[in-house]
Structure 1
């Protein structure tokens, strides 16, 4: 089975590297200290503080493994605002919601750097899937938890 690819821009890769460094140095040390402190107060069969510290440490280690996998299987995408005639990863797309005409701009990126509040959405999201490969003037629709949403692409790049 092929490993999963993680599309990411250069700035997204930088953010993953920063998070990984923080987890492997500062947070890992803090987690081990928390476990060490919890051990001094407990009967291991009953102590919730120890159990919580162990769970937090395990979750952090899982995140580290995911970040390492993302970096190993990164598929770099361009952040340049070059002219393209269809929606592709790394290029901003402007659309209006139909029928109200509310205008929005998003850049489709990999899940590692998606941040909808700051204008980036994951290529795995229903919105991104409906936009990828489409052109200016195209109307697309997709399902959301609140119902069907319809929009029209007005600019790419």
Structure 2
């Protein structure tokens, strides 16, 4: 199944993959060799830790390779800002707190709450998708709480 990414997100994943393959993989191989040289492997905690780290690293490399090869880059020039969609920045009025909030809806692997980027698959994002300026969104969170937002503005930035 293809996942959608931004060009920037794809470049970050490719850079991480290169770092893992060219720098981290040789480091772990060296650690395993050094631990093996210390003798009895049955009671060698360093060897076990290095082998476990190698397994985790290889899983991450495999996952990144899969994402990089199956991802589809979102063409930002084709996005419609008349309604909330992936990669749009949405300025909202939280009707409960009467405070404005701004979110950018991004692919899963690019979410970062500190910078206001939320995954398009979160309950809030799902509740906002397709809404237009002036429209209200009533969103039920997994814990049962309800949020009410009004869409104030939709932009691409």
* TM-score class normalised by the smaller sequence: 0.7 to 0.9
Contact in 1 for aligned 2:111/2:117 (Cα 8 Å): yes
**What is the CA RMSD across the aligned residues, in angstroms?**
2.1
> Partner of 1:50: helix, strand, or coil?
helix
Tell me if 1:50 matches 2:47: yes
Alpha-carbon distance between aligned partners in 2 of 1:102 and 1:41, rounded to the nearest angstrom: 61
C-alpha separation in 1, matches of 2:142 and 2:99: 17
**Contact 1:81–1:91 at 8 Å: present in 2 too?**
no
- Structure 2's unaligned 5+ residue stretches are none
Change (3 A) 1:102 1:36: farther
Which has a greater percent of helix?
2
Alignment gaps of 5+ in structure 1: none
**Aligned residues between the structures:** 154
Are 1:7 and 1:109, in contact at CA under 8 Å, matched by a contact in 2? no
TM-score by length of 2: 0.85
Counterparts of 1:120 and 1:81 in 2: how far apart (Å)? 20
**TM-score when scaled to structure 1?**
0.85
Measure, in 2, the Cα distance between the counterparts of 1:105 and 1:142: 19
- Within the candidate set 134, 145, 148, 1:147 is matched to 145
- Assess, with a 3 A threshold, how the Cα gap between structure 1 residues 123 and 155 changes in structure 2: closer, same or farther: same
Quick check: which has more Rg, 1 or 2?
Answer: 2
Q: Residues 80 and 91 of structure 1 are in contact (CA less than 8 Å); yes or no, is this contact kept in structure 2?
A: no
1:156 to 146, 150, 154: 154
Cα distance in structure 1, aligned partners of 2:127 and 2:82: 16
Q: What is residue 74 of structure 1 aligned with on the other side?
A: 71
CA deviation map 1:65-99 (0-9, x unaligned): 11111111112213459662111111111112231
Give runs of ≥4 in structure 1 deviating > 6 Å.
none
